């Protein structure tokens, strides 16, 4: 059973839905905890509760998330809390995030992070004695010739493509790629095009202030890109999910110029698509990608130019195969089994 947020227009708990896999989906998390949601625990009586937790994602439903986890913990049900963004949230939100993380610590049995950087951040915060590291997880996909033809036409791909994908945020370092575009283009004799695919994340409530910063960063990217001369660059905004695997696969390089990352969903999507990945050499991306990516010095435009030109000038079949292999080793089935195993182990990872 999956319990997730209700839409903003819901006045009460929606009935149970079933997804294509026969899983009950209850849209029962609201701003204020509701008894009907906590009663699910008594009715369903799960063996393990897994909380996928990030302040930015839970947003205004954080209190309900904590309350549901705490109710399960009181009833003796193992609660595994997987923290998605401890590096960024603990550092950026300070005492506010530490307070929220402390509440989740008190409501959980075991803490999990999806990278070595995340596990280190949880322990370094002083809130956790130990944190279990698991792979982020991804779903290997087959990209067909029809898919490739569709995205090639839809995104006007006529030259070797370098793509940056994901929500606009300063930590993503997309501005570094924009700075590198002229040098890459000149080195390749103009035979390259760039696609900045993504938009600012939609945020709610008090988190709208963070959304403003994202929008300003996105606007700066658009301005900087428009001022480039002799460079083929487009900004596509949101990419439909059905286009993502083919777009990542067709690219000559998927660039992840992140300044900071606990783990990256885009990195794992790229692995699943068998993409050629060029990433900042930072712990979170090293943990996610391992030998299935090329790396450049974080923050170095010159190194990004040099590595990009090298990647586009040499065959990358071996790296694509390494990406597919790593995706298979880190599939969602593997991660789900490990989450249940950790939950049933009865080990208390908290101080």
Rounded Cα distance between 20 and 26, Å, is: 14
Rounded Cα distance between 332 and 329, Å, is: 9
Q: Are 298 and 260 in contact (CB under 8 A)?
A: no
Over the Cα atoms of the chain, what is R_g? 21
Rounded Cα distance between 3 and 162, Å, is: 38
Backbone phi, psi, residue 236, to 5°: -100, -15
Sign of torsion over alpha carbons 184, 185, 189, 190: positive
314 sits in the region (left: phi over 0; alpha: psi -120 to 50; else beta) called beta
> pLDDT tens digits, the chain, 351 residues: what are they?
677 776 555 544 455 555 555 667 777 777 777 787 788 887 888 888 898 888 877 777 888 888 888 988 888 889 999 888 787 777 766 687 888 888 888 888 888 888 887 888 888 888 788 888 888 888 878 899 999 999 999 999 999 999 999 887 888 999 999 999 999 999 999 999 999 998 777 666 556 666 677 888 889 999 999 999 999 999 987 888 899 999 999 999 999 999 887 778 899 899 999 999 999 999 888 888 999 999 999 999 999 999 999 999 999 999 999 999 999 888 888 888 888 888 888 644 443
Rounded Cα distance between 126 and 112, Å, is: 15
Closest CA to 157 of 228, 252, 244: 252
Query: Does the model's pTM come out above 0.85?
Result: no
């Amino acid at each position: 059973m999956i319990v997730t947020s209700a839409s903003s227009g819901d006045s009460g708990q929606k009935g149970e839905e079933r997804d294509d896999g026969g899983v009950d989906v209850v849209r029962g998390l609201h701003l204020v905890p509701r008894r009907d949601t906590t009663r699910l625990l008594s009715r369903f009586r799960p063996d393990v509760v897994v909380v996928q937790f990030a302040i930015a994602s839970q947003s205004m439903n954080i209190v309900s998330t904590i309350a549901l986890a705490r109710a399960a913990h009181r009833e003796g049900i193992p609660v595994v809390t997987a923290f998605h963004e401890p590096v960024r949230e603990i550092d950026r939100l300070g005492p506010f995030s530490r307070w929220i993380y402390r509440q989740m610590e008190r409501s959980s049995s075991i803490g999990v992070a999806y990278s070595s950087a995340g596990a280190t951040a949880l322990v370094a915060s002083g809130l956790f004695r130990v944190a279990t590291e698991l792979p982020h997880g991804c779903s290997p996909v087959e990209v067909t010739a029809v898919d490739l033809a569709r995205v090639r036409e839809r995104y006007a791909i006529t030259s070797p493509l370098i793509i940056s994908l994901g929500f606009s945020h300063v930590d993503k370092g997309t501005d570094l790629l924009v700075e590198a575009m002229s040098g890459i283009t000149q080195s390749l004799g103009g035979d390259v095009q760039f696609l900045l695919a993504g938009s600012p994340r939609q945020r709610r409530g008090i988190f709208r202030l963070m959304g403003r910063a994202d929008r300003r960063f996105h606007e700066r990217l658009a301005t900087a890109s428009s001022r480039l001369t002799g460079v083929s660059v487009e900004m596509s905004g949101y990419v439909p999910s059905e286009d993502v695997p083919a777009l990542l696969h067709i690219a000559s390089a998927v660039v992840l110029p992140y300044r900071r990352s606990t783990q990256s969903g885009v990195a794992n999507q790229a692995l699943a698509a068998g993409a050629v990945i060029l990433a900042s050499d930072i712990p979170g991306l090293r943990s996610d990608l391992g030998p299935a990516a090329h790396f450049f010095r974080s923050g170095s435009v010159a190194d990004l130019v040099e590595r990009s030109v090298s990647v586009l000038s040499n065959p990358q079949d071996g790296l694509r195969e390494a990406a597919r292999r790593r995706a298979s080793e880190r599939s969602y089935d593997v991660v789900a089994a490990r989450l249940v195993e950790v939950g049933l182990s009865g080990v208390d990872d908290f101080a």
